[in-house]
Amino acid sequence: MNKGKVYLVGAGPGDPKLITVRGLECLKDSDVVVYDRLASPRLLRYAKPGAEMVYVGKLPDRHTMKQEEINRLLVDLALAGKTVTRLKGGDPTIFGRVGEEAELLHENGIAFDIVPGITSAIAVPAYAGIPVTHRDLASSLSIVTGHESPDKLDRSIHWGKVTNATGTLLFLMGVAKIGYIADQLIKHGKPPQTPVALVRWGTRVEQQTIVGTLETIEAIVKDANFQPPAVIIVGEVVLQREKLKWYENKPLFGMRVMVTRARPQASEFADAIEALGGEPCEYPVIDIREPQDEQVIEVVRTSLEQAESYQWLMFTSVNGVDYFFRYLRRFGIDMRRFHAARIVAVGPKTAEALAARGLTVEELPVQFYAESLLDRVSEWLKPGDRALLPRGDLAREVLPKELRARGVEAVEIDVYETTIADTQDDLALDWLREGGIHMITFTSSSTVTNLLEVLRRRGIEEPVKLLGNIPIASIGPITTKTIQEAGLHAAVEAEASTLDSLLEAITAYNQERRGL
């Protein structure tokens, strides 16, 4: 069997978007991903389907796998013909022991690439608003390991030289030794008032920063029960933080938001959450697809063939627009045949989807649901009119029922159907169990009922109990009603039933939660 290849990849400091393009390419190309505690688990979603995941992470008090065993594992996987990505937090060459792994690969004749990553020593301070160099404050820096015991630190660090050698000192993995480190720096000439910052889980939503001086920082760490992993920054550059802490000032900083809508529609919302400093957790619980029943499709075809007979075309969702036009193409029906119909839409996104196809809607309701649409167009409805409603199979009956009450013939066609997504995201499930989700968003009644069903299928007997302590954001009153009927409570409801309004409500909630 041909030997495989190993990519020794720096995953960056935590934010998954800080991995390099080359690192992401390696991840997507590999049969096996060997990853540790400091590499963002969200990166694993980029691995190719069927790739094997092997966790070899280390905790301060225990090792899942010894370094020698990791070295041997990489060799064995490559000798079995596998393409392997060894995903390491930060940069693999800075206290990442990549030299030991690469050396054994070399001895066994296995090809490998070392792919640099963004080191936490620079990125984490930057996310805390601390540039590690500054023209007026520091023109050089030193990166030092703080992980060893005091006697080993004394053997590996020449305190007399390190203390005053550079403007900024950066200690990685030194939280437990912060008192000893501070004492040694003072002992060897650093003023006790020298600023110090510790940044925990930098570049992630869990990021925490504490600031003190060499003489006060140990007490501050103990009082805050500040735990690793963290980067320690010593030097005058720490004083820049109050002016430059850009990441922590973002409106959704500190919030991981679960997005439950269908994956094709989730990306724009997820991107907006990320732009505001939050972390989206995409956990789609609905799938949108064409109806599987041929009789339903035949009803769609025959209804569309009667294009000239409609006085109204009423769209209640973007999906309705998309699938309506799919069927026009499928059956070769020209949109111009609907020339007698006035077009109305529920919600600005639905109107935008129509405008993208060169169509202008008559009216937009102030509140973006079916009842308000009727309020706006009722004066133009005439008994005997025909209205075509391209909808989903779970659409509410309010609109067609009220149209018929006004003497309008409502022709409903199910141009798409909503099903429960086959969601298999163990990371999101772990976050739900461990309190790592700070808000769940529901954008329709089906996302509520489907999430509860998905959780039951994943072995959670009481999903309502699991979700009961997690704040919930609802897109509007109809979804809120479903949330309440399920036994849950909506902490946030969008003022208008749009994603933009929902995001504004979540942002206001987070600002209030943080006391801003």
410: its two tokens: 């409502």
The CA distance from 125 to 423, in Å, is 36
Q: Which of 136, 137, 96 is nearest to 120 (CA)?
A: 96
Query: Within a 13 Å sphere around the CA of 8, how many CA atoms are in the beta-carbon half?
Result: 25
Query: Within a 13 Å sphere around the CA of 92, how many CA atoms are in the beta-carbon half?
Result: 23
Q: Which of 269, 324, 238, 288 is nearest to 443 (CA)?
A: 269
Asked if residues 131 and 209 have their Cβ atoms less than 8 Å apart, the reply is no
The residue from 5, 82, 88, 173 that is catalytic is: 173
Q: Dihedral, CA atoms, 174, 247, 43, 36, nearest 10 degrees?
A: 10
Kindly list the distances between the CA atom of residue 280 and the CA atoms of 36, 167, 291, 440, in Å, as whole numbers in the listed order: 22, 37, 30, 10
The answer to whether 425 is a known catalytic residue is no
The answer to whether 173 is a known catalytic residue is yes
Across 64-120, the runs of DSSP E, i.e. the strands, are 83-88, 111-115
Q: Which helix (H) or strand (E) holds 231?
A: strand 230-234
* 76 Cβ contact list (under 8 Å, min separation 6): none
Strands 83-88 and 5-10: parallel
471: its two tokens: 């704040």
Residues written for the chain = 516
The CA distance from 432 to 189, in Å, is 48
The CA distance from 236 to 140, in Å, is 12
Neighbour-count burial of 174, counting CB atoms closer than 10 A to its CB (0-12 exposed, 13-18 middle, 19+ buried): buried
The residue from 29, 31, 58, 65 that is catalytic is: 58
The residue from 5, 15, 36, 190 that is catalytic is: 36
The CA distance from 270 to 260, in Å, is 10
DSSP conformational letter for 439: E
The answer to whether 58 is a known catalytic residue is yes
Catalytic positions: 36, 58, 173
